[in-house]
Amino acid sequence: MKKNKNIKMILLFLVPVAFLYISFFIYPLAFVLGTSLTEWNGISAMKFIGLGNYKKLLTDGTFLLSIKNNIIWALSGGFIQIPLATMVALILARKPRGWKTLRTIYFLPNIISAVAIAMMWKAIYNPMYGFLNAFLNLFGIEGHNWLGETATALPAVIAQTVLYIGYFMVIIFAATTTIPKSFYEAAEIDGCTTLQQEWYITLPMIRGILVTTITLAMAYGMRHFEATFLMTSGGPAHSTSVMGLVLYNKMDAFRLGEANATGTILILLGTVVIVLIRKLLSRGDAGSDSVQ
């Protein structure tokens, strides 16, 4: 009798969530998958064309370049932004003078609109009156059109994003606070340096959190859109284009079948990359799965 009552209570809590999940994720996902197999402009009737949209996208040089750029974004987030966030978190965890102020300063960009930050960096990179070129000129270095040349446009856009480590820094910092201080006290008695304590105690103890933050950073990289749209619109010569921007442009041109095929590839590719990176980084660590 008690078991039946528990089952009813479990269903009572699960049904609303399941209803919302099916309504706002499963159904839209099925709709996107279905319409990706059609030629459709959102107004006239759909025309089934099978894998025609996928063949068109996968033979388009701009789309293939966008996939490559998304992977670069993901790797930059996972293997540049997270190590920077980890380094700062470990320093702040030692609670040097002013650590609370520094923690607030590092986190501050996360409460500012991404649009405002992108516009600020666009002004910084401006070849005529931007701060970066003015700063370089002080040392006799000639200015550069950072966003206007294909060699520097993508690194410039990525750099203004990966520098903001506050969100992941706070997560990693919180993880370090769960490590018993007795571990460090014992290490100090044994003569371990601070660097050795971080390497042999802190990093292994927060490995699961590091895998989670790397996964999140790479997921953000795979779905990146805002900064590229605002700073370069995919230019110059499509060198900064990403899949999200391709999707937007196709929707803007009322080619919804192709847009939904782009979205489907983005979802599949993102899922594959994230699953692979989690498997790779969690190998040999039984605790990682439980943390994630």
What integer is the mean pLDDT of 211-225?
92
All domains of the chain in start order, with CATH: 53-282 (1.10.3720.10)
Cross-strand pairs, 48: 38
What is the 8-class DSSP label of residue 98? T
Comparison of pLDDT for 203 and 284, the residue scoring more: 203
**Residue 42's pLDDT band (cuts 50, 70, 90):** confident
**Residue 24 reports pLDDT greater than 70:** yes
CA-angle at 205, arms to 200 and 207, nearest 5° = 100
What is the 8-class DSSP label of residue 166? H
pLDDT digits (tens, 9 = 90+) for 53-65: 999 999 999 999 9
Query: Burial, 213: exposed, middle or buried (Cβ in 10 Å; 0-12, 13-18, 19+)?
Result: buried
Question: Which residue has 């600020």 as its token pair?
Answer: 120
Listed as own residue / partner, the contacts of 259-266 with beta carbons closer than 8 Å and 24 or more positions apart are 260/32, 260/33, 260/35, 260/36, 260/53, 261/36, 261/37, 261/53, 261/54, 261/57, 262/57, 262/63, 263/32, 263/36, 264/32, 264/33, 264/36, 265/54, 265/57, 265/67, 266/70, 266/222, 266/223
**What's the predicted TM-score (pTM) here?**
0.89
> What per-residue confidence (pLDDT) applies to 281?
80
pLDDT digits (tens, 9 = 90+) for 93-111: 999 999 899 989 989 888 8
Contact by Cβ (8 Å): 258, 56: yes
Question: Amino acid identity, residue 206?
Answer: I
pLDDT digits (tens, 9 = 90+) for 200-216: 999 999 999 999 999 99
